[in-house]
Amino acid sequence: MSIFPKVTVPTTPKTASVKQIGTLYAAILTIFVVAQLFTFEDFITLIQSYGLPGGVTMAYFLSSLIVVIEIFALPFLLRMRVSPLFRVTSMVCGWLAAALWLKLGLWLVFTDNAVSNVGFLGSVVQLTPGWWNVLFSLALGILAIWASWGMWPKLSKFKK
């Protein structure tokens, strides 16, 4: 018995389009992460300007959480060889990335903040908040669910 996790091959996709959907969602998240990390100090300030409860502490936590979740979603979407537990964790991170952006988009639409940038691409590119970013976040959620449906990880069954 080994204490190290066993690396497994991902399951075969249910359809050919699922692999393309996963790659598309991974490409979008990669573009997000690179842009957010390029100017991470400004990204923290941008999240702070949302006026979220918790102030500066929440801005530091949320900006770091967004970047980490987007990075951890990539192994599942790119069908990398990882342990079964990390594959499930990566799949859930794909869901959480879309859910966080949806929640932040709804926060910007329903609160009366004078924010000039959504933050999808950090502070590198100015994207004005509005209903489009809520719909785009919903589209990201659909991509995450579609990729999860088509590449659902099979966990090994315990032997008695």
Q: Where are the alpha helices (DSSP H) in 73-130?
A: 74-77, 84-110
Residue 139 counted as domain residue = yes
5 assigned to some structural domain: no
In a domain, 11, yes or no: no
Question: Which residues span the domain enclosing 89?
Answer: 16-150
Number of domains the chain is built from:
1
| Nearest 10 degrees: Cα torsion 134, 135, 136, 139 | 130
- Residues shown for the chain: 160
Q: What is the pLDDT along the chain (160 residues), one digit of tens a residue?
A: 566 788 888 888 888 899 999 999 999 999 999 999 999 999 999 999 998 899 899 999 999 999 999 999 999 999 999 998 899 999 999 999 999 999 999 999 998 778 889 999 988 988 888 899 999 999 999 999 999 999 987 765 555 4
